[in-house]
Structure 1
Amino acid sequence: SNAKFTVMAQNTIETLVEHFGFTPISAIDDVINSVNDLLYTAIMGLEQFVLSELNSSEEVDQVETLLESLVDHHFDMFEIYALRNIFAIPDKLEIVLPHREGMDFTLDQAKEERVDQELDAMRKKVLAN
Structure 2
Amino acid sequence: MTQDGPSKTPPAERAVPPLLLPEALGFSPQLLLDDIINIANSALLDGVSGMESYLQKWSEERADRLGSEWDNTQEVEQGLVSFQTLLEHHTDLAFDFFEAWSLRNIFAVPPDLPLVLPHQEGLDLTLRSEREQELMDENAELRRRLSEQKQLKRIQTKALHAITNRERRSAKRLERLSFLDTPALDVSAALPRKLMAMHSAVSNLPPMDPETIAALAQFQETDSGKRQWETSKTGYLNWAVGQLLSRAKAREGGGEVEGMTEQAAEIGQAEQLRQAFEITHGVRNDLENAMQMDTGM
Same-fold call, TM cutoff 0.5: yes
Which of 101, 104, 121 in structure 2 is aligned with 1:101?
Answer: 121
Residue of structure 1 in register with 2:83 after alignment: 63
> Could you say which residue in structure 2 is the equivalent of 1:51?
56
2:126 and 2:104 mapped to 1: Cα distance? Answer: 29
For residue 106 of structure 1, report the CA deviation from its aligned partner: 4.7
Structure 2 regions of 5+ residues with no counterpart? Answer: 1-11, 60-72, 139-297
Deviates more, 1:74-83 or 1:55-64: 55-64
Q: How many equivalent pairs are there?
A: 105
Alignment equivalent of 2:31, drawn from 26, 32, 54: 26
* Aligned partners of 1:43 and 1:60 also within 8 Å: yes
- Name the amino acid aligned to 1:103: L
1:79 and 2:99 are equivalent in the alignment: yes
Letter matched to residue 51 of structure 1: Q
Partner in structure 2 of residue 125 of structure 1: none
Q: Is 1:39 the equivalent of 2:10?
A: no
Displacement, 1:21? 2.9
Contact 1:47 1:60 in 2 (8 A): yes
Instruction: Report the identity percentage.
Output: 38
Deviates more, 1:69-78 or 1:56-65: 56-65
Secondary structure of the residue that 2:18 maps to in structure 1? helix
Structure number with bigger Rg: 2
CA distance in 2, matches of 1:52, 1:107: 68
Q: Does the Cα contact within 8 Å between 1:12 and 1:88 map onto a contact in 2?
A: no
**Structure 1 residue runs without a partner (length 5+):** 1-6, 120-129
Q: Which has the higher contact order (CA 8 A, sep 6+)?
A: 1
TM-score, normalised on structure 1? 0.70
